[in-house]
Amino acid sequence: MTFRQRAEQIGAKLQSALVKDWDGRQCILEMQREGSRNWKQMEWIGFYFEFLCQRVLAGLMDTPGPKYGKVRFDGLCDIPWDFKAHAINTSAHEVIVNDGEAIAGAIAEYGSVGLVLALGKVVYNDETRTFQAWHQQLKGGRSDYEVERIRRGAWSRLRKVSFALEQVSFIQITDTTLVKCGCFQSGFRNADGSPRRGKVLIDLESIDEETMHFVEF
């Protein structure tokens, strides 16, 4: 089966099962109730999309997918796939994908990697950060990451409180695609001083040839 044919098959399943409007509180509570380990994550939209894909695509796609080093892809169906979500009502058109070495390894083994990308409009927390306070209380208090951020006096980002799904795109990543891509967090270091592994950064405005299929909501 070609990439486009597989994308059409996956897209039909997602289009028939996903709703357009995602409320942050409801989505987080759903993940918590269903035993997802990612319900505490601040960037809940991407983790919720992954959670939905794993449920909707069960029987068609193996989840999780293959592992390269310490990095595991979200699914496997002919080729490795990753599920990502991106806000379209921002000035940023770049999507951080997966570990560069893992993607290169998967391409070497399977020929390409697939990206299932949910695109939609987000609404951010109000100035009093009521959503952030609710999520923090649900988690049982501040995380170690949040405590460390406060200690350093670092800026706290506004949380996304809802997501209006507009489109799911299917992007094929090959060696040719990687030539067009940038790199994120290369040269960065973790808290213990160890170097962070570089991640592939895709500019959505430069990959028309790689976007093989999409479905609208």
Q: How many Cα neighbours within 13 Å face the side chain of 165? A: 26
Average model confidence (pLDDT) across the chain: 87
pLDDT confidence tier of residue 114, bands split at 50, 70 and 90: very high
User: Looking at residues 179-208, what average pLDDT do you find?
Assistant: 63
Which residues, in sequence order, are CB contacts of 19 under 8 Å at separation 6+? 165
Residue-wise pLDDT tens digits, 127-170: 788 998 899 999 986 666 555 645 565 555 678 999 999 999 99
* Among the listed residues 82, 71, 80, 83, the one whose alpha carbon sits nearest the alpha carbon of residue 111: 80
CB atoms within 10 A of CB 148: 12
**Distances, alpha carbon 196 to alpha carbons 143, 172, 173, 187, 193, in Å:** 21, 25, 22, 7, 9
Would the pLDDT of 189 be above 50? no
The pLDDT value recorded for residue 190 is 37
What are the residue boundaries of the structural domains of the chain, listed by start? 3-216
Q: What is the 3-state secondary structure (H, E, C) of the chain?
A: CCHHHHHHHHHHHHHHHCCCEEEHHHHHHHHHHCCCCCCCCCCHHHHHHHHHHHHHCCCCCECCCCEECCEECCEEECEEEEEEEEECCCCCCEEEEEEHHHHHHHHHHHCCEEEEEEEEEEEECCCCCHHHHHHHHHHCCCCHHHHHHHHHCCCCCCCEEEEEEEEEEEEEECHHHHHHCEEECCCCECCCCCECCCEEEEEHHHCCCCEEEEEEC
Chain segment 66-92, per-residue pLDDT in tens: 999 989 999 999 999 999 999 999 877
* 116 contacts 83 by C-beta, under 8 angstroms: yes
